[in-house]
């Protein structure tokens, strides 16, 4: 139950259209719901501004379906990440309107209108091989109520492709930048914009990339200001962070210019 639904319930109690006992019954699982194999944190939207999300990896299709069903019963959007096709098929049999994204391995059920507004989360990726991580970030940010715009396949091997999208980069409220190989793209992007850049190292690359470790270390050692870094392939974490930042600023106006400090060497 999110803040809007809780407020509506309290208003119904105040008007007398919902009795105290009925309200108590609806609130008794507000903090969490114990399913034996999982404790669902229904209080998370009120406490953190983001809903409980299912991490599908390591869970059986039956467990994912049960958790998905209980979260859906609360009436909000539902998101599951790292979902295998067989688990997605089982859930979609019960929830035909749920959408499976094979590339991102996400399963989502939307109950609220798609987000709109001038202030959007920009999702950037270096190459097509980074799309699964970038798409996970995009879907996450959108299910968290934030508009997105994608800027894909603009890696530093062809810098002109990135520069051609400068207007889109500068119009974003926050940017998620996914890259593998040497992981240089977030540093370059951060040198072009005045908004936070969330760097996502991906496990794409040849042997010496060490499944994304090289990109992770490069991003952690970025010389560009304003870059934060999430874990390897963690598009979900980046999408959540970007949604919180965009939510904090609000969606009623595009980013405004800020004073520029002298460059430091």
Q: Where are the alpha helices (DSSP H) in the chain?
A: 3-15, 20-27, 44-48, 61-72, 85-94, 131-143, 159-163, 166-171, 185-190, 213-220, 235-249
Q: Which of 257, 263, 256, 238 is nearest to 119 (CA)?
A: 256
Q: What is the pLDDT of residue 1?
A: 53
Query: Range(s) for CATH 3.40.50.1970 in the chain?
Result: 121-249
121-249 under CATH 3.40.50.1970, yes or no: yes
Per-residue pLDDT, 37: 81
| For residues 173-194, average pLDDT | 96
Q: Would you state the pLDDT for residue 102?
A: 96
pLDDT in tens, 77-86: 899 999 999 9
pLDDT in tens, 94-139: 999 999 999 999 999 998 887 887 889 999 999 999 999 999 999 9
How far is CA 131 from each of CA 139, 151, 205, 236, rounded to the nearest angstrom? 12, 11, 14, 13
Structure tokens at 265: 């060497």
Give residue-wise pLDDT tens across range 202-244: 999 999 999 999 999 999 999 998 999 999 999 999 999 999 9
Answer yes or no: is pLDDT of 50 > 80: no
Q: What is the token pair recorded at 153?
A: 């396949």
Q: Using CA atoms, how far apart are residues 220 and 262, in angstroms rounded to an integer?
A: 23
Show Cβ contacts of residue 116 under 8 Å, excluding neighbours closer than 6 positions: 147
Sign of CA dihedral 86, 91, 92, 93: positive
């Amino acid at each position: 139950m999110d803040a809007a639904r809780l407020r509506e319930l309290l208003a119904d109690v105040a008007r007398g259209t919902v009795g105290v006992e009925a309200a108590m019954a609806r609130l008794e699982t507000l903090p969490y719901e114990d399913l034996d194999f999982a404790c669902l944190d229904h209080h998370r939207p009120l406490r953190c501004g983001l809903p409980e999300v299912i991490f599908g990896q390591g869970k059986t299709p039956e467990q994912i379906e049960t958790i998905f069903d209980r979260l859906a019963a609360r009436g909000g959007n539902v998101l599951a990440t790292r979902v295998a096709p067989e688990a997605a098929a089982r859930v979609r049999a019960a929830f035909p309107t749920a959408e499976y994204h094979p590339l991102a391995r996400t399963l989502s059920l939307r109950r609220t209108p798609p987000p709109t507004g001038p202030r959007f989360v920009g999702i950037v990726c270096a190459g097509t091989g980074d799309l699964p991580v970038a798409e996970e970030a995009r879907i996450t940010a959108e299910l968290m109520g934030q508009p997105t715009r994608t800027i894909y396949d603009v890696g530093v091997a062809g810098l002109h492709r990135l520069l051609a999208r400068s207007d889109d980069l500068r119009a974003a409220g926050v940017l998620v930048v996914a890259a593998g190989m040497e992981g240089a793209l977030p540093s370059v992007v951060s040198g072009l914009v005045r908004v936070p850049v969330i760097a996502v190292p991906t496990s794409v690359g040849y042997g010496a990339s060490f499944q994304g470790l090289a990109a992770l270390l490069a991003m952690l050692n970025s010389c560009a200001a304003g870059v934060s870094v999430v874990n390897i392939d963690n598009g979900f974490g980046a999408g959540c962070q970007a949604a919180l930042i965009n939510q904090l600023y609000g969606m009623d106006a595009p980013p405004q210019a800020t004073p520029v400090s002298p460059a430091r060497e």
